[in-house]
Structure 1
């Protein structure tokens, strides 16, 4: 039979002693546990009666909630109010002077001046100017649309340049 080196024997003896000590502690600890005792808990105080907000108001004050209960199957929304047809009011078109256009196949950019506001503008196809929407931009004009109204603004061509007279 092979013999173990002294260090291995010492480790084996130490492991056996530790296991034996653990078993003894578990047995002694398990036997010495005290039995649980019952503790008397005082009863909770009675809940205070809080008046319900529903019973606090009279049924006459409940009004709509009594006439149309919230979760009743017969409950229906109030009838819709009649909608007046929109009046077709003619909107004055903006007073524009178009001085520059960059036109593409499906969209474009136009620049110019709003004569009423005395402010410059830059519009793209689909933009809005007040209540008017840019419908299309061609090489020579801009078309604005508001409902069924259409207004075209031609590109302003500058006057021809006259040559300066020769000095004498």
Structure 2
């Protein structure tokens, strides 16, 4: 009869116990891809950001009341203007940083330079929304704002 050494069983049992105490592993979040619908500029955006101060190829605006994204293509360069967003749950009483990524995605304006386009999402009211204006080739980001803008419902963005 073949038996495992006691040291192996002790290590294996400790690893199983450690995994059981830390909970389930983090879940993978699949990126949502949305081609935006052509529209006019937002009338009352919560916050807007330009993709790049020098290149200025995209402008992204978020309207918290309705969870609407507006994306303007500001340069005729053959690339799409987009907004890359992340929806983070605030499980720690609502303070930044929020620590559980629920969803992420891209809202893409494919209508060309000078146009605005719109995507509607539905986020949990207590979540933090992070976003960047971006320039995309297909669904790949080729340039974006260097920092994420963070917004919470009923508060300011920063």
Q: Which structure is higher in strand share? A: 2
TM-score by length of 1: 0.21
> Greater share of helix residues, 1 or 2?
1
**TM-score for the superposition, normalised by structure 2:** 0.22
